[in-house]
Structure 1
Amino acid sequence: MDALHECYDPEIPVNIVDLGLIYGVDIDNEQGSVQITMTLTAMGCPMAGEVMSEVQMRVEEVEDVKSCKVDITFDPPWSPDRMTEDAKWELGMV
């Protein structure tokens, strides 16, 4: 999760964890693999590939992680309700 806190939405100055974009993290310690299920703030986001690549790169930099697969889902759709209070505060929503 620390690695994911270093990934930011290119259009919003808040990390993807606090934005509520991470839906699941499955770790296979034996294989050294991680599967991330996440969403984006909007369907058709032109930066989707960049966000996915950054997530994969950051997670694969974690010690003992050999591979990371990132899946995008829009079910359930993202909404600002998924954001942490810190993210809402940073964006002036509180």
Structure 2
Amino acid sequence: MIYQHTVRNLGPGTETFDLTVNSSEGWFTNVSPEEVTINGQQETDIIVTVVVSPNAQQGDVDNTIVTVTSQSDPSVTDFSTDTTIVPIPMFLPMMANNAGEETPD
């Protein structure tokens, strides 16, 4: 699963932020980039990737926490949660259709 987030610098000056991700189920996660520098009152997009474990069962739920922390003041932090639910497989029956066109002799 791929999630997109927008990180905004609400302050007046340029700031660098560290980005981390943590999966509640221990699934592979990645955030790109892991660090962003944003001018004051500006924003940038980041991408979070969550790879569902091959051992996951239908209906399993993972909450991945995306945390943004200021490098200059680590008390300035915020987070967002990406929820991934393993879907129930769908069964779509195939039906053969033998009513094709005849080929001329």
Higher strand share: 2
Higher relative contact order (CA 8 A, sep 6+): 1
* TM-score normalised by L of structure 1: 0.31
Bigger Rg, structure 1 or 2: 2
Q: So what's the TM-score if we normalise by structure 2?
A: 0.29
